[in-house]
Amino acid sequence: MINDIIKSGKFPPVLLLFGAEDYLVELDARKLYDAACARDTTGMNCDVLDGEQTSLDAALSIARSYPMMSDQRVIWVRRAEKMTAAKGKKSSDNLAQYLAAPNPSTFLLLTASLPAADGLGARITRNAAAANKKISALKYPFPLLLQKASWSEYAQLKEQQALQWIQRRASDDGIDLPTTAPEFFVARCGTSLRDLAMELEKLKLYLGDRKQATDEDVHAVVGSSREFNVFELQRAIGRADVISATKIATSMMSANSQELPIIAMLSRYFLQLYRLLDARAMSDPAAISQQTGIPSWTINEYLDTINKLGPGRIERALHLLRESERTIKSTSTPALLVVQTLISRILDSK
């Protein structure tokens, strides 16, 4: 459905995306929004609203307005389930009136988390009466949207579907996974695509310029122990928790020599934090992600790290990481001592 809309360029007046697989909801909504906004060369007719800070009436007011110097206005209301929405009488219901005669130049996109509607898409084909009962039980304005607007549900994927998705996603990212990797990912992370996407992103960062992943790479990232891997090390450093960070690094290096991958990953981490110092003034998570290389769903965690460490320690860490890499490559100083000292110096508040 989504690809057909984008390919045709014919966007429905109102479209609701929801479902248990919120990661796909977000991905497809972003595709639709970007494709629709590409037609607006002015940049003045595209709005992203947060349902927690927007009322339904406010969103509809914008939807009724005509675009400026463009043929289309695009409005994306995220977390639409949090919108304040008062149901009016049948003759004065604002949403009902809009859906009866939507602005033909507006594409109103809503994304929502609606656990009470889970399974609705499948139920409609099996038992329309039961589906309608399920719709009627939802909080306003969703019964009206589901009855009068276009919508698509993103149900939780089954295990086999998740395995296939991992292979496709890795291939799209140019990563050649070992045969057993998808099963390992699902065994460790379950079938949530958001969790799986995060682990694949970690693997991509871990591989660097390499495209062929090995079983060892996958285990190093996901880990037979979720407690001791380079991403948990990053988090511990981000919390300024020197004891946990040292414990994780020591455990990682006790099994095999990981000092250079650790330094490479921490260098990437602090470079992203450094870029975020400037980019944090931007309001769009997707734009921040594009500028910094930080996955959009972890931006808040990185912002917390900036607040915890401060710009001075972030800039100093980049110098310390380069110095530690030179020490490991050019001296006989034990690598574990170099890494432990590195962590201590990065988190030193002086």
195-216 tens-digit pLDDT? 899 889 888 888 888 999 987 7
The domain made up of 2-153 has a fold known as: Rossmann fold (3.40.50)
pLDDT tens-digit series, residues 110-160: 999 999 998 888 888 788 888 888 899 999 999 999 999 999 999 988 888
Strand 14-18 and strand 150-153: pairing? parallel
Residue from 237, 238, 236 nearest 305 by CA: 238
Q: Considering only the top CATH level, what class is 159-346?
A: mainly alpha
DSSP one-letter code for 226: T
* pLDDT beyond 80 at 222: no
Better pLDDT: 280 or 63:
63
Helices (H), the chain: 2-8, 22-37, 56-64, 94-100, 120-126, 128-136, 142-148, 159-172, 181-189, 193-207, 215-222, 230-238, 242-255, 259-279, 285-292, 299-330, 335-346
Question: What pLDDT score was predicted for residue 24?
Answer: 94
246 CB neighbour count, 10 Å cutoff: 20
Strand 46-50 and strand 150-153: pairing? unpaired
C-alpha span between 156 and 207 (Å, rounded): 29
C-alpha span between 18 and 153 (Å, rounded): 5
pLDDT tens-digit series, residues 19-55: 999 999 999 999 999 999 998 888 789 999 999 999 9
As a dihedral over the C-alpha atoms of residue 156, residue 158, residue 159, residue 161, rounded to 10 degrees, the angle is: -100
Q: Are 168 and 193 in contact (CB under 8 A)?
A: no
* pLDDT beyond 80 at 312: yes
Q: What's the pTM? A: 0.66
The tokens describing 338, both together, are 């170099």
Region of 244 on the Ramachandran plot (φ > 0 left; ψ -120 to 50 alpha; else beta)? alpha
3-state secondary structure of 112: strand
C-alpha span between 117 and 120 (Å, rounded): 6
pLDDT band of 102, cuts 50, 70, 90: very high
Q: What are the residues facing 303 on neighbouring strands?
A: none
Q: Return the amino acid letter for 5.
A: I
pLDDT tens-digit series, residues 254-281: 766 678 878 888 998 999 999 999 898 8
C-alpha span between 209 and 59 (Å, rounded): 44
Residue 281 C-beta-side C-alpha neighbours within 13 Å = 2
* pLDDT beyond 80 at 349: no
Q: Are 16 and 102 in contact (CB under 8 A)?
A: no
List the domain boundaries for the chain.
2-153, 159-346
Question: What pLDDT score was predicted for residue 227?
Answer: 62
Question: What pLDDT score was predicted for residue 350?
Answer: 65
* pLDDT beyond 60 at 226: no
